[in-house]
Structure 1
Amino acid sequence: MSYKPSSLFRLIEELNRSIFLPHIQRPFVWEEDQMLRLFDSLMRNYPIQTFLFWRTKDEIKARKFMERVEWDADLSDFYDPGKSKKDIEKVFVLDGQQRLQTLYALFCGAITSVDNRRAEAYFDVTSGMVPDDRGLLHRVQFSAEPLQLPWYRVADAISRDGQRNSEEVSDRINSSMDNLNATAPPDKRETPPQVKEREKRVRRNSGQLLSLLREEKHFWIQELDGVANEYPYDRILDIFVRVNSGGTKLDASDLMFAAMKEAWSDIEEVIEQTTEMLNGTNLQFDKTFPLKCLLVAHGRGAEASPEKFTGPDGDALMTAINTNWAKAEQAFQQLRDFLKHDLKIYADKVIRSYNSFIPLFDFLYHNPKPNEATRTLLKAYHYKAQLFGWYSQGTDTVVNALHTIVGKPSPGGFPMTEVKEYFKKRGSATELTRAHMNETRLRFILLNQVYVDQMGASPFDVKFKGNDPHVDHIYPQSMLRSKLGFLSADINHLGNLRFMGATDNIRKRAELPAEYFARMKAGGMDIAKHLLLPDYAADPTKLAFDTASYKEFRDRRFERMWDILSSTTNPEVT
């Protein structure tokens, strides 16, 4: 095993040339906020842990990193058959995919914006003095449009400024900003002391940015050399599972338990049992979640740290948690029942943030046994939080703010109006529109919402492992493209999408919809839950394969989906 430093430039240069992802790696799951936090950590010169690589010539499916991050990517599109072959040397990333993909997108790639455009990273080269409400010192944003100074296109550090030193880069930026300052309105111009301070920050940020790229001191790699040494696949698989499931690493909950056990020796066992109960429908809560719930409900804030459980204040907190445990246990049980019976969530694929459930616990802790009208609003809150990314940025700040709204007795039911007002002030959407239904990254959540409403059960509640639903086209996409000349936007329209079991999807052949659904109907399948339109379900021959028939079906089905989704997401306005 070797342990060596590498420059970021060299790492990026080798991605998709010699460095790949093995097929056992999960998809890219970081939210945009996590990507920005990684950049901020690097600009602060914080360590970001070692990357673990495996060099091999084995026949293993090699997956490329995404030059442009797609939030709902089909991983099969990124496999490299040539590099996957036996006796072809390649390096696989066992630990570090999320970080490397983020760095690739920041420094020479992009992400896909909400309107399906290429959005590149821009860095405010004057930032670094005061943290924002998310705790970030160094401001970065992804934009589909070019931004003007002080926003510096991060990819220019490799391309345009690739041969320049940091002084040249900072001098050019400061000179341009001096020109902008000279032509600004008098009341908007920087004073000489402000100019001096800005120039200092630009020099510091430019130097750190180029240092990250060029110097071999920020990124370290542990490499298992399976070419020179014996690292068989079964051993690598065991290593991979351990490093990606935590192994013996200490996380925030482990450190907090160490501080808590003096006051309540059984606390860790109680929390483990609670976490196991919450995960009863195949979810992936960790032990930190119930701890954060308890901190919030007791007014101590969502930030999880062992310091909150030490000293006199920590003793008082532990006494309160112990004394009120029966109340908390009841709230956790009600939360679990709400997830299972009301929301019918059986897969984390339809969850963008687990932290959105903390305010639900907070409300149930102070308002147990909600009535039907309140549960309807709780469901709407959940759908809004997931669809509109309410918890994609500044999670702890959001949870703490909502505690002041939901963390108290509410005789009038769930305070949806106040919750929506808070998120409106943050610039977030608060009501579903038809435009949201066309966002690719939301289609799993939207389809699940439709099926739960129509079936009264989760399509992810499957009997056989590996048969989770895939997204399937009712009118086959290959035929729509080749025979009718439709483009992707018309083909991958929500009105043409449904869920289909993975096993069935693999077996399914390209078949005209009228024939396919007539055959399914004859075999006893309830096609109405897929087609949603009673007249088509009664007579599948109406699914004729021509442009007019396709558009009529797709658009009518889309409107039926809108009726379902708007009624469950916007019940307060429908």
Structure 2
Amino acid sequence: MSYKPKTLFRLIEDINSSLYLPHIQRPFVWEEEQMVKLFDSLMRNYPIQTLLFWRTKDEIKARQFMNVVDWDADLSDYYEPNVSKEGHEKVFVLDGQQRLQTLFAIFSGAIKPEGSDRAEAYFEVASGEAVADSGLQYSLKFSNSPLPFPWYRVADLLGKDSQKNAEELSDRANDLLDTSDAAMTPEYAPSDDQQKARQKQVRRNFSQLVSLLREEKHFWVQELDGVANKYPYRTVLDIFVRVNSGGTKLDASDLMFAAMKEGWGEIEEAIEDTTELLNSTNLDFDKSFPLKCLLVVHGRGAEASPEKFSGEDGTKLLQDMKAGWDRAEQAFQELRDFLKSDLKVYADKVIRSYNSFIPLFDYLYANPKPNERSKALMRAYHYKAQMFGWYSQSTDSVINGLHSIVGIASPAGFPMAEVKNFFRSRGNKTDLHPTDLNTSRLRYILLNLVYVDQMGGSPFDVKFKGNEPHIDHIYPRHALLTKLALPSSEVNTIGNFRFVGATDNIRKRAELPADYFGRLKAAGTPIEKHLLVDFYSAVPSSMAFDALTYRAFREARANKIWEICNKTVNPESIAAPAEAVA
């Protein structure tokens, strides 16, 4: 096994020419916020862990990295049959896909946000002097149109500026900024000291950017050489599972427990029991979640750090936590019951942010045993938070801002109006509209909501591991595209999507809906939970395979889905007449 440094330039050059992803790798899952955070870490010169590669000539299915990150991509479009063949030498990434795909997108490619085909990375060249509320020090953002200076297109480092050194780049940037400063009126122009500080920061930024690309000190690679040595696929698979399953990695909560135990020896056991309780619905909370909950309700803010448990204030905090533990334990139990019995969430696929549950705990701590109306509003809050990305950035600031709204006694019930006003002030959406139902990244959340409403339970609550539901087309996708010549925009819509167990999806024969659902109905299967519309559920033979019938079915079912989603996500609003959303 070799262990050596590599430049980012070389890594990017190798991607999709000799460096690929094995088929066992999961899809790219990092959100834009995580991508920006990685860039911030590199600009701060933080280490980002070793990358693990495997060189082989074995016949292993090889997948390309995405030139444009598309979270809704079909992974089969990225497989390379020729590279996958036995005898073709290639290098696979066993650990580091999320980091490498992020760096590839920032420095050479782009991402595909909702509603845009391509958004490239731009860096604010004078940033870095202070840490923002988000916890980030360096400003990077993706834009689908060129941004004006002082935003710098990062891909230019490998493009038109590839032959320039850091000094040339920073001199040009500072000249432009100096010119801009000179054009300001005296009262707004920076002082000489401020200008010199900015010039120094710009030089430091370009020096770091060029260093990241061209110097062999930031990225280290461990490579299993399966060409020169024996690394059977079974061994490599075992290594892959181990490095991607986490093991016993230390996290921030472990460091905090070391600072806390002197003041409350039983704290770690209490937190571990609470984490296990919350995960009894097949979710994946870590120990930092209950710690952040406790920090919030005791008025210390959501930012978790060992320093909060040191000194006199730390001693007082631990005393307060210990004294209030019975109340907190009850709130955690109520939160767990709410997750299991009211939300019925059983899988990460329907949760975009675990942090959104902290304000629910905050509310339950201050308002135990909420009534049914409050629970309905809490459900609505949950879906709004997940669908509208309320926790996609500045998460701790959001939680801290909500504490003064949800963390107080509310005799009138869950304060949905105030919560919505808070998020509106931040520029977030607060109400579900029919057009939102065809947002591709919301499919799992929306369909889970519908099935929970129809079944009274989660379709992800399965007896057999591996049989979690897949999204399936009711009218077969291929037949609609080829035989009826319909565009994909008419095929891939919420009105034509349903859940089907993974095992059933594999076994499902290529049948048209009238035959398929007719056969299920004859066998006693409750097809109404899939079809939703009474007419088609009663007479599945009416689902003829022609464009007119398909469109009528799709629109009727989409309107039924809107009716279900509207009453759950917007219960505080007067329901508007259903609109066609197919």
Q: Secondary structure at the match of 1:431?
A: coil
Q: Which residue of 2 aligns with 1:518?
A: 518
- The C-alpha deviation readout for 1:462-500, integer Å capped at 9, x for no partner, is 122111111111111111111222222221111111111
Q: Which residue of 2 aligns with 1:126?
A: 126
State the Cα distance separating 1:356 from its structure 2 match.
0.8
TM-score, normalized by length of structure 2?
Answer: 0.93
Distance 1:140 1:157, change over 3 A: same
Q: Equivalents in 2 of 1:179, 1:252: separation in Å?
A: 45
Q: Which residue of 1 aligns with 2:577?
A: none
Q: Secondary structure at the match of 1:58?
A: coil
Letter in 2 for 1:300: R
Structure 1, 230-239 or 496-505: larger mean CA deviation: 230-239
Q: Equivalents in 2 of 1:185, 1:322: separation in Å?
A: 57
State the Cα distance separating 1:304 from its structure 2 match.
1.5
Q: Equivalents in 2 of 1:558, 1:289: separation in Å?
A: 37
Q: Which residue of 2 aligns with 1:250?
A: 250
Q: Which residue of 2 aligns with 1:493?
A: 493
Pair 1:215 & 2:215 matched: yes
Q: Which residue of 2 aligns with 1:100?
A: 100
Work out the percentage of aligned pairs sharing the same amino acid. 66
State the Cα distance separating 1:192 from its structure 2 match.
7.3
Residues 116 and 144 in structure 2, CA contact (< 8 A), matched pair in contact too: no
State the Cα distance separating 1:152 from its structure 2 match.
1.6
Q: Secondary structure at the match of 1:118?
A: coil
Letter in 2 for 1:519: R
Q: Equivalents in 2 of 1:437, 1:217: separation in Å?
A: 47
Distance 1:464 1:170, change over 3 A: same
Q: Secondary structure at the match of 1:470?
A: strand
Q: Equivalents in 1 of 2:188, 2:305: separation in Å?
A: 43
Q: Which residue of 2 aligns with 1:338?
A: 338
Distance 1:313 1:177, change over 3 A: closer
Q: Equivalents in 1 of 2:189, 2:433: separation in Å?
A: 42
Spell out the pairing of 1:148-163 with structure 2 (5 A cutoff).
148-163=148-163
Structure 1, 363-372 or 147-156: larger mean CA deviation: 147-156
Distance 1:315 1:459, change over 3 A: same
Spell out the pairing of 1:303-342 with structure 2 (5 A cutoff).
303-342=303-342
State the Cα distance separating 1:244 from its structure 2 match.
2.5
Distance 1:484 1:177, change over 3 A: farther
Q: Equivalents in 1 of 2:23, 2:517: separation in Å?
A: 34
Distance 1:257 1:195, change over 3 A: closer
Q: Which residue of 2 aligns with 1:89?
A: 89
- The C-alpha deviation readout for 1:512-552, integer Å capped at 9, x for no partner, is 22222222222222221111111111122332222222222
Q: Secondary structure at the match of 2:312?
A: helix
Residues 181 and 190 in structure 2, CA contact (< 8 A), matched pair in contact too: no
Q: Which residue of 2 aligns with 1:376?
A: 376
Q: Equivalents in 2 of 1:301, 1:236: separation in Å?
A: 43
Distance 1:198 1:254, change over 3 A: closer
Structure 1, 509-518 or 352-361: larger mean CA deviation: 509-518
Quote the RMSD (CA, aligned, Å).
2.1
Q: Which residue of 1 aligns with 2:27?
A: 27
Spell out the pairing of 1:225-304 with structure 2 (5 A cutoff).
225-304=225-304
Q: Which residue of 2 aligns with 1:204?
A: 204
Distance 1:212 1:113, change over 3 A: same
Q: Which residue of 2 aligns with 1:385?
A: 385
Q: Secondary structure at the match of 2:434?
A: coil
State the Cα distance separating 1:61 from its structure 2 match.
2.7
Q: Equivalents in 1 of 2:147, 2:483: separation in Å?
A: 42
Pair 1:8 & 2:8 matched: yes
Q: Which residue of 2 aligns with 1:456?
A: 456
State the Cα distance separating 1:172 from its structure 2 match.
4.1
Structure 1, 85-94 or 455-464: larger mean CA deviation: 85-94
Structure 1, 512-521 or 493-502: larger mean CA deviation: 512-521
Q: Secondary structure at the match of 1:435?
A: helix
Structure 1, 380-389 or 479-488: larger mean CA deviation: 479-488
Q: Which residue of 1 aligns with 2:140?
A: 140
- The C-alpha deviation readout for 1:52-73, integer Å capped at 9, x for no partner, is 2222233333222222212233
May I ask how many residue pairs the two structures share in their alignment?
A: 573
Letter in 2 for 1:546: D
Q: Equivalents in 2 of 1:14, 1:317: separation in Å?
A: 51
State the Cα distance separating 1:457 from its structure 2 match.
0.9
State the Cα distance separating 1:265 from its structure 2 match.
2.5
State the Cα distance separating 1:259 from its structure 2 match.
1.9
Q: Equivalents in 2 of 1:326, 1:85: separation in Å?
A: 61
Gaps of 5+ in 2: 575-582
Q: Secondary structure at the match of 2:119?
A: strand
Q: Equivalents in 2 of 1:53, 1:296: separation in Å?
A: 41
Q: Equivalents in 2 of 1:488, 1:175: separation in Å?
A: 50
State the Cα distance separating 1:567 from its structure 2 match.
1.2
Q: Equivalents in 2 of 1:49, 1:198: separation in Å?
A: 31
Q: Equivalents in 2 of 1:264, 1:436: separation in Å?
A: 48
TM-score, normalized by length of structure 1?
Answer: 0.95
Letter in 2 for 1:334: E
- The C-alpha deviation readout for 1:17-72, integer Å capped at 9, x for no partner, is 22222333222221111111111111122221221222223333322222221223
Q: Which residue of 1 aligns with 2:580?
A: none
Residues 7 and 214 in structure 2, CA contact (< 8 A), matched pair in contact too: yes
Pair 1:528 & 2:562 matched: no
Q: Which residue of 2 aligns with 1:50?
A: 50
Structure 1, 444-453 or 546-555: larger mean CA deviation: 546-555
Q: Equivalents in 1 of 2:313, 2:231: separation in Å?
A: 51
State the Cα distance separating 1:167 from its structure 2 match.
3.1
Structure 1, 339-348 or 206-215: larger mean CA deviation: 206-215
Q: Equivalents in 1 of 2:133, 2:259: separation in Å?
A: 28
Q: Equivalents in 2 of 1:315, 1:345: separation in Å?
A: 37
Residues 344 and 457 in structure 2, CA contact (< 8 A), matched pair in contact too: yes
Q: Equivalents in 2 of 1:199, 1:105: separation in Å?
A: 28
- The C-alpha deviation readout for 1:416-475, integer Å capped at 9, x for no partner, is 111111111111111111232221111111111111111111111112211111111111
Distance 1:186 1:499, change over 3 A: same
State the Cα distance separating 1:345 from its structure 2 match.
0.6
Gaps of 5+ in 1: none
Q: Equivalents in 2 of 1:490, 1:145: separation in Å?
A: 28
Distance 1:509 1:151, change over 3 A: farther
Letter in 1 for 2:142: F
State the Cα distance separating 1:201 from its structure 2 match.
3.7
Letter in 2 for 1:290: P
Letter in 1 for 2:39: F
Q: Secondary structure at the match of 1:478?
A: helix
Letter in 2 for 1:559: N
- The C-alpha deviation readout for 1:206-234, integer Å capped at 9, x for no partner, is 23222211111111112222322333333
Residues 342 and 379 in structure 2, CA contact (< 8 A), matched pair in contact too: yes
Spell out the pairing of 1:474-485 with structure 2 (5 A cutoff).
474-485=474-485
Q: Secondary structure at the match of 1:301?
A: coil
Q: Secondary structure at the match of 2:449?
A: helix
Q: Which residue of 2 aligns with 1:70?
A: 70
State the Cα distance separating 1:235 from its structure 2 match.
3.2
